[in-house]
C-alpha cells in the first residue's frame, strides 16, 4: 500500500482552530466499531490518545485544525485494536532470535535452515530452535540425530517441536547430556531408541527433553531484554495492539517495566504472575499495578498451571485416553495449595487465570473457583465481580460447560489449538468426548464470554490465523476430519468480539478499550482486506497495514 500518512483531506485554505480540534483524523475507512449502537463508520477523530469522534467523513472534517494529522484510509477495513488474550511474549521473541523452524514443509528444508545457522555459529556453541512439525513431511517421520550430525558435527543442536512436547538433539548434544543406549526413560518422558540398534535416535519426549536442555546456557538478562523487544516488534507488525502475557517471574516483570520506563515498547501489556510461588506472593502482597506508563501496563493476575497438554497425553481427563487406556493424564498442582491463594486473591482484588485443558482439570478448577467464591462472598472481596478465567478450557463435560456462565468465569481460548489438534484429538478422546472439545459455540450459547488468543509461541500467534480458525474450524489447508463439529464454529461478528471487546472485558478494560467509541483509547488494527466479507481462505492472506496505539501509528506497511 502506498503511504497512508500525510495525505491531505479535501484541501482548504481556511481551517478553524478550536478546542474541538483533533490531533488526528482518520477518514475514508471501512470501519467496524464493535459498538452495537453504531456498528459502521467512515471516519474517526483522535485527540491525544483517545477517540473524540466516530462517524461520517463530512463531520470528521469539522474537527480538522492546522496541526491535525490527516490519514486517508483508502477504504481499508479498520477494527478496534486486536488483543492476543494469551501469549508468552519472551518465548515469541526467543523464537525469532533462535532458529525459527515454523512452516518448514520438508526434512530437506528443515536441514537447510539448520545448516544456515551452523555457518554463522562458532564451533562448540549451542544451536537452539523450535517450531518444526513433521506432520506434512513426506514421509512424516521424526528427524534424527543422524540427519543433524551430517550438517552440524561441531555444534550441539537442540530443536523443539512446534507443540513444545518433543525435541530432536544431535549427537554432540546427546553426548553432553550423557544420553546413551543405556539411559533409562525419566519419569514423564521418553528417549526414543532405534528398534534394531537400540541407540537413541535423538528424539526426546516431554521430561526427557530436560536431560539435554538443562545443559544449554540460560539466556543472559541482555538476551531476555532483546527477546522482549523482538517479540513486541513482531506483535505490532501483525496488528496486535495489546497482549495478555500468560505468566511471568519477577525477573521478567522487571525487564518489561524497564522497557516501558525507557520508552522502548508501546504495545499494551496485561501481565500475569506465575503462581503459586514468589511472583504470586509478591503480587498478593503489593497489590495490582493498574494502567501504568500511560495506560500501557497492568498486572493484576495470577497464572496457575493445572494440567498438561492433550498431544502428550498430559491433559487431566475424567476417563482414560482413548488411544492409551492406562493413562488419564495428571494435575500439576495440589488443590490444597491453591485454596488459600485463591481466597487471598479475592480479598486483595487479584484475578486468577488457570491453565486447564482436560475435562477433569476443568471440573476441579471450577470446583475450586466456586468454593473460593463461596468462602469469600462479594462483600469481603476487593472486587465484587472477580472475572476469573480458565485458560484453554479445551475439553469440557456436558455438565461442566454451563458452569462458566453461571459462575461468571471467562473461557480464554485459542482457536488455532483446535485446528492444530484436529489431527490427533479424535484419537486421544474418541468421538463422544469431541462434543465438548473446543466448544466455542456451546460456550457462547450458554452465555459465557470467550476471550481469544494464540498461545504463541506454541502456535504461530497471528491474528488472521486465529480469526480464520474460529470461523472456519478447519486446518489452514481447509481440512476438517470426522466428528469435528463444524457447528462449533462462530460467526465473524462473534470472532471479532473474541479479539476485541471480550479480551477488554477479561482485563477489566471494557470502558477504555475493545470498541471504537468516543472516549475510548484510540487503538486500531487496519487490514489489507475486509475479513468480515471475504471468502475464508483469503482471511489467511490478509495482513496488517497499519497498527495504531493510543492515536499513534506504531506500524505501517509501506509496500
Ligand atoms: Zn500458554
**334's grid cell:** 495440589
Ligand 1 centre and the CA of 30: distance in Å?
33
pLDDT at 444: 98
Give the SS3 label for residue 99.
strand
Low-confidence ranges of the chain (pLDDT < 50): 1-19
Q: What grid cell was written down for 249? A: 517471574
Is residue 470 within 8 A of residue 452, CB to CB? The reply is yes
For residue 275, the CA-to-ligand 1 centroid distance in Å is 14
Number of other residues whose CB lies within 10 A of the CB of residue 552: 16
The per-residue pLDDT for 6 is 41
Q: How far is the CA of 463 from the centre of ligand 1 (A)?
A: 16
pLDDT of residue 1: 43
**Ligand 1 centroid vs 458 CA: distance in angstroms?**
7
Integer Cα distance of 406 and 360 in angstroms: 18
Give the distance (Å) from ligand 1 centre to CA of residue 65. 46
The set of long-range contacts for 502-505, using a CB threshold of 8 Å and a minimum separation of 24, is 502/85, 502/410, 502/449, 502/450, 502/451, 502/452, 503/83, 503/84, 503/85, 503/242, 503/244, 503/451, 503/452, 503/453, 504/83, 505/387, 505/410, 505/449, 505/451
Task: Tell me what pLDDT residue 314 has.
Answer: 86
pLDDT of residue 187: 78
pLDDT of residue 206: 82
Instruction: Find cell 469431541 and name the residue.
Output: 434
pLDDT of residue 165: 80
How remote is the C-alpha of 108 from its chain's centroid? 30
pLDDT of residue 163: 78
How far away, in angstroms, is 392 Cα from ligand 1 center? Answer: 8
Query: What is the whole-number distance in angstroms between the Cα of residue 147 and the centre of ligand 1?
Result: 31
Distance 246 CA to ligand 1 centre (A): 6
Pairing of strands 410-413, 450-452: parallel
491: Cα within 13 Å, side-chain hemisphere: 4
pTM score, two decimals? 0.89
| Residue 19: predicted pLDDT | 47
Please list all protein residues whose beta carbon sits less than 5 angstroms from ligand 1, which is an ion: 246, 455
Closest CA to 446 of 409, 500, 496: 409
Cis ω for the linkage preceding 276 (within 30 of 0): yes
Q: How many A from CA of 504 to the centre of ligand 1? A: 19
Amino acid at each position: 500500500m502506498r503511504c497512508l500518512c500525510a495525505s491531505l483531506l479535501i484541501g482548504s485554505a481556511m481551517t478553524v482552530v478550536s478546542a474541538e480540534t483533533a490531533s488526528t483524523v482518520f477518514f475514508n475507512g471501512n470501519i467496524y466499531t464493535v459498538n452495537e449502537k453504531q456498528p459502521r463508520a467512515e471516519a474517526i477523530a483522535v485527540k491525544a490518545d483517545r477517540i473524540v469522534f466516530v462517524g461520517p467523513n463530512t463531520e470528521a472534517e469539522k474537527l480538522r485544525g492546522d496541526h491535525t494529522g490527516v490519514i486517508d484510509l483508502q477504504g481499508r477495513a479498520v477494527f478496534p485494536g486486536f488483543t492476543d488474550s494469551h501469549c508468552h511474549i519472551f518465548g515469541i521473541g526467543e523464537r525469532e532470535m533462535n532458529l525459527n523452524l515454523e512452516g518448514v514443509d520438508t526434512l530437506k528444508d528443515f536441514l537447510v535452515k539448520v545448516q544456515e545457522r551452523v555457518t554463522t555459529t562458532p564451533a562448540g556453541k549451542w544451536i537452539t530452535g523450535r517450531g518444526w512439525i513433521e506432520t506434512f513431511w513426506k514421509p512424516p517421520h521424526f528427524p534424527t540425530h543422524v540427519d543433524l550430525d551430517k550438517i552440524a558435527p561441531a555444534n550441539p543442536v537442540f530443536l523443539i517441536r512446534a507443540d513444545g512436547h518433543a525435541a530432536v538433539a544431535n549427537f554432540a548434544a546427546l553426548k553432553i547430556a550423557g544420553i546413551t543406549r543405556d539411559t533409562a526413560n525419566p519419569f514423564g518422558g521418553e528417549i526414543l531408541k532405534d528398534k534394531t540398534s537400540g541407540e537413541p535416535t535423538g528424539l526426546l519426549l516431554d521430561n526427557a527433553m530436560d536431560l539435554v536442555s538443562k545443559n544449554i546456557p540460560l539466556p543472559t538478562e541482555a538476551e531476555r531484554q532483546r527477546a522482549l523487544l523482538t517479540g513486541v516488534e513482531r506483535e505490532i507488525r501483525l496488528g496486535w495492539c495489546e497482549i495478555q502475557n500468560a505468566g511471568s517471574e519477577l525477573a521478567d516483570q522487571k525487564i518489561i517495566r524497564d522497557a516501558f520506563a525507557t520508552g522502548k515498547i508501546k504495545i499494551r501489556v496485561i501481565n500475569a504472575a506465575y503462581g503459586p510461588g514468589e511472583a504470586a506472593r509478591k503480587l498478593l502482597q503489593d497489590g495490582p499495578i493498574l494502567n501504568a506508563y500511560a495506560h500501557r501496563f497492568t498486572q493484576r493476575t495470577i497464572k496457575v498451571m493445572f494440567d498438561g497438554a492433550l498431544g502428550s497425553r498430559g491433559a487431566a481427563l475424567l476417563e482414560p485416553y482413548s488411544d492409551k487406556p492406562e493413562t488419564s493424564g495428571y494435575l500439576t498442582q495440589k488443590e490444597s495449595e491453591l485454596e488459600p491463594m485463591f481466597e487471598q486473591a479475592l480479598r486483595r482484588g487479584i484475578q486468577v487465570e488457570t491453565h486447564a485443558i482436560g475435562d477433569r482439570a476443568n471440573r476441579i478448577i471450577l470446583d475450586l473457583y466456586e468454593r473460593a467464591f463461596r468462602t469469600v462472598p462479594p462483600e469481603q472481596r476487593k472486587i465484587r465481580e472477580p472475572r476469573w478465567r480458565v485458560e484453554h478450557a479445551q475439553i469440557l463435560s456436558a455438565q461442566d460447560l454451563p458452569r462458566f456462565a453461571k459462575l461468571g468465569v471467562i473461557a480464554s481460548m485459542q482457536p488455532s489449538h483446535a485446528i492444530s489438534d484436529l489431527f490427533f484429538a479424535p484419537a486421544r478422546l474418541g468421538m463422544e468426548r469431541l462434543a465438548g472439545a473446543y466448544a466455542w459455540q456451546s460456550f457462547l450459547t450458554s452465555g459465557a464470554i470467550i476471550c481469544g488468543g494464540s498461545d504463541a509461541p506454541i502456535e504461530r500467534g497471528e491474528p488472521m490465523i486465529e480469526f480464520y480458525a474460529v470461523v472456519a474450524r478447519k486446518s489452514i489447508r481447509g481440512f476438517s476430519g470426522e466428528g469435528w463439529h463444524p457447528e462449533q464454529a462462530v460467526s465473524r461478528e462473534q470472532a471479532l468480539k473474541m479479539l476485541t471487546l471480550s479480551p477488554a472485558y477479561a482485563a477489566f478494560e471494557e470502558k477504555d478499550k475493545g470498541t471504537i467509541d468516543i472516549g475510548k483509547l484510540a487503538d486500531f488494527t487496519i487490514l489489507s482486506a475486509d475479513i468480515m466479507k471475504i471468502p475464508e481462505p483469503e482471511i489467511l492472506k490478509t495482513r496488517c497495514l497499519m497498527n495504531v496505539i493510543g492515536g499513534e501509528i506504531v506500524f505501517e506497511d509501506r509496500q
